[in-house]
């Protein structure tokens, strides 16, 4: 269904975090094309970064109507930010697409299925751990009965992403460092989906940090980081999430703030931008964002022990929001090479999105499936028995893709779990 949004008015809500004239400086050079997964898959300029920026300009000026035809290329964007890494002009594409999506969600009428998927599942279930547990309970029961094959076909892309063994592991308020020479105090964010589906991974992150010399506090009252909202065009709700988490962590004196998911970490680091126009919160958000670190920015490869003698072949998939959004590329590899040695191999197109992209594999299953197959094909070329990554969404997407390809024997594991089970940091 098309929207009735008038085409001759300039939508004031389309406002980037930075000055519009600076943000819209794309000169359409095309250097971003090789980094855009949807362009590589289709060769369609409308599904390229410069094509989308051109469309944004048309919508902004009122020269293009807001309807299904103009929304579709923007919806198909993964938000992976590969183009932002490749851009020589430092165009802040991530800010543009998030603000454009915010405009779309408030002015465009979607189909009933997409509306329910976005407004209910993505925005009303996943950001709240207890609701996610409740939603997953029937699936857990169906699997226990062995009746998953009887589920309706349209539900299978979603159910295939749910791990076979998902459980939460509540963390104590304080977990002390296990070494005598302490380096500081870290505040840990459990995450909404991660705390439900990857509780053991959270516990592994905490163990690694305590072995590295940090006391870890996990404050009560924290909530979703806001990534699910900001990526789906609900920036007001993302700002509410930011305010909640800032207020919670201000009550605890911590040196750093860490979360186990790369996508969440990227959003936490953007709190200063997200709330820069709110006088009451701008400075507080900037202070909070300045403390956020990914686990790999804290762990020291020199403290790890080589385990290559008993190691299978291991490869690494770059989570987009660690690589492109946070600019962290070498540190995970340094940690893996420290324990794997020559058993570590590079993954072709390691920095190309796997198709997960938050809730993208639910809202855009066709393109997500194409990118999933491409990622699996590259993994099989390496001969690796283990695929390591740093984001839970990537783990689910790649694991499901390998199962579809008949290679469920290849393990997909979070870097924290991989290092923890090797005893990383133990004296």
Residue with tokens 């163990």: 207
pLDDT tens per residue, range 100-120: 998 898 888 898 888 888 888
**Phi, psi for 256 (deg, rounded to 5):** -135, 160
List C-alpha distances in Å: 29 to 16, 98, 371: 21, 22, 25
Choose among 48, 51, 69, 50: nearest CA to 5: 69
pLDDT tens per residue, range 190-249: 998 888 888 899 999 999 999 999 999 999 999 999 999 998 889 999 999 999 999 999
CATH number at residue 315: 3.40.50
Is there a single domain that holds both residue 85 and residue 199?
no
CATH number at residue 273: 1.20.1050
Instruction: Determine, yes or no, domain membership for 38.
Output: yes
> For the chain, which ranges sit under pLDDT 50?
1-19, 427
Is there a single domain that holds both residue 338 and residue 245?
no
Is there a single domain that holds both residue 326 and residue 416?
yes
C-alpha 35, offset from chain centre:
18
Choose among 84, 351, 117: nearest CA to 232: 117
Strand partners, 186: 216, 256
CATH number at residue 31: 1.10.1060.10
Which DSSP state fits 318?
Answer: -
Residue at a domain's end among 54, 89, 107: 107
Is there a single domain that holds both residue 311 and residue 411?
yes
Residue at a domain's end among 297, 320, 342: 297
List C-alpha distances in Å: 265 to 11, 33, 245, 286, 288: 30, 26, 13, 14, 12
| Dihedral angle computed from the Cα positions of residues 289, 330, 298 and 251, in that order, rounded to the nearest 10 degrees | 20
Residue with tokens 């060769």: 43
* pLDDT in the model for residue 139: 73
**Verdict on whether the full-model pTM lies above 0.85:** yes
How many domains, the chain? 3
Helix axes 282-291 and 262-269, enclosed angle (nearest 10)? 140
Burial 390-421 (b: 16+ CB within 10 A, else e): bbbbbbbbbbbbbbeeeeeebbbbbbbbbbbe
Instruction: Determine, yes or no, domain membership for 427.
Output: no
Task: Give the separation between CA 399 and CA 160, rounded to whole angstroms.
Answer: 9
Residue at a domain's end among 266, 281, 297: 297
Is there a single domain that holds both residue 202 and residue 264?
yes
* pLDDT in the model for residue 316: 99
* pLDDT in the model for residue 264: 95
Q: Which domain holds residue 91?
A: 20-107
Is there a single domain that holds both residue 251 and residue 202?
yes
Count, residues in the chain: 427
Instruction: Please name the residues in contact with 204: beta carbons below 8 A apart, sequence gap of 6 or more.
Output: 414, 416, 417, 419, 420, 421
């Amino acid at each position: 269904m098309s929207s009735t949004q008038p085409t001759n008015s300039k939508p004031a809500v389309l406002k980037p975090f930075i000055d519009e004239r600076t943000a819209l400086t794309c000169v359409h050079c095309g250097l971003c094309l090789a980094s855009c997964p949807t362009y590589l898959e289709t060769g369609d300029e409308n599904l390229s970064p410069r094509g989308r920026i051109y469309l944004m300009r048309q919508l902004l000026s009122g020269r293009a109507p807001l309807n299904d035809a103009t929304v579709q290329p923007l919806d198909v964007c993964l938000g992976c930010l590969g183009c932002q890494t490749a851009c020589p002009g430092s165009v802040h594409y991530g800010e543009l697409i998030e603000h454009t999506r915010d405009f779309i969600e408030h002015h465009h009428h979607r189909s009933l299925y997409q509306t329910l998927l976005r407004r209910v599942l993505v925005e009303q279930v996943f950001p709240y751990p207890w609701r996610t547990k409740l939603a997953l309970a029937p699936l857990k029961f169906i699997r226990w009965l062995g009746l998953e094959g009887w589920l309706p076909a349209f539900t299978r892309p979603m159910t295939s992403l749910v791990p076979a063994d998902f459980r939460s592991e509540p963390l104590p308020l304080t977990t002390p460092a296990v070494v005598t020479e302490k380096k500081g105090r870290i505040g840990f964010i459990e995450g909404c989906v991660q705390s439900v589906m990857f509780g053991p991974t959270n516990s592994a992150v905490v163990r690694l940090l305590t072995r590295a010399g940090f006391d870890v506090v996990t404050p009560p009252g924290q909530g979703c980081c806001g990534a699910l909202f900001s990526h789906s065009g609900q920036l007001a709700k993302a700002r509410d999430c930011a305010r909640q988490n800032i207020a919670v962590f201000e009550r605890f004196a911590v040196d750093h703030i860490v979360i186990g998911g790369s996508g969440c970490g990227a959003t936490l680091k953007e709190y200063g931008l997200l709330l820069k126009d709110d006088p009451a919160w701008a400075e507080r958000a900037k202070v909070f964002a300045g403390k956020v670190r990914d686990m790999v920015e804290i762990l020291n490869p020199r403290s790890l022990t080589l385990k290559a003698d008993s190691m299978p072949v291991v490869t690494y998939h770059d989570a987009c929001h660690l690589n492109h959004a946070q600019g962290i590329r070498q540190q995970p590899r340094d940690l893996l090479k420290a324990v794997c040695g020559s058993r570590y191999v590079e993954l072709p197109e390691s920095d190309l999105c796997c198709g997960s992209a938050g809730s993208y594999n639910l809202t855009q299953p066709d393109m997500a499936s194409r990118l999933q197959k491409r990622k699996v094909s590259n993994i099989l070329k390496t001969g690796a028995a283990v695929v390591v990554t740093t984001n839970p969404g990537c783990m689910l997407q790649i694991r499901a893709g390998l199962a579809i390809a008949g290679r469920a024997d290849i393990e997909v594991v979070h870097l924290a779990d991989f290092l923890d089970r090797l005893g990383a940091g133990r004296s």
